[in-house]
């Protein structure tokens, strides 16, 4: 007999992750990034798209904009911050993987 947990579908992982992250206080900037990653509207204006450039910069597009013109920081900083908030929010491995 094993103690295996049931496999969650990606949407359930996203919902669980969003629920846990809503409980953590972060800057408005990071809240917009997290909201975008989990597909939720947590800030105004809403960040709707992000990309990592070949040189490691994170760019974003806000709702209503036509291009990725917002500089959000370095992708390595985002990864470090995701792992930091994951510990505070008590995210599991699936939820961290979803964000990353």
Tens digits of residue pLDDT in 44-90: 999 999 999 999 999 999 999 999 999 999 999 999 999 999 999 99
The strand order across the sheet containing 70-74 reads: 47-52, 57-62, 70-74
Whether pTM exceeds 0.85 = yes
The answer to whether the CB of 70 falls within 8 A of the CB of 61 is: yes
Alpha-carbon span 82 to 61, nearest angstrom: 20
86 three-class SS: helix
Residue 3: is its pLDDT beyond 90? no
> Which two structure tokens, joined as six digits, stand for 47?
């960040």
Alpha-carbon span 60 to 17, nearest angstrom: 21
Alpha-carbon span 62 to 78, nearest angstrom: 18
């Amino acid at each position: 007999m094993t103690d295996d947990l049931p496999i969650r579908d990606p949407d359930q992982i996203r919902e669980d992750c969003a629920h846990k992250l809503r409980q953590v206080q972060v800057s408005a900037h990071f809240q917009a990034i997290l909201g975008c990653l989990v597909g939720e509207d947590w800030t105004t204006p809403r960040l709707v798209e992000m990309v990592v450039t070949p040189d490691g910069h994170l760019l974003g597009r806000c709702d209503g904009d036509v291009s990725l013109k917002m500089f959000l920081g370095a992708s390595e900083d985002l990864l470090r911050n995701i792992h930091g908030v994951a510990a505070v929010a008590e995210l599991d491995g699936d939820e961290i993987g979803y964000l990353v």
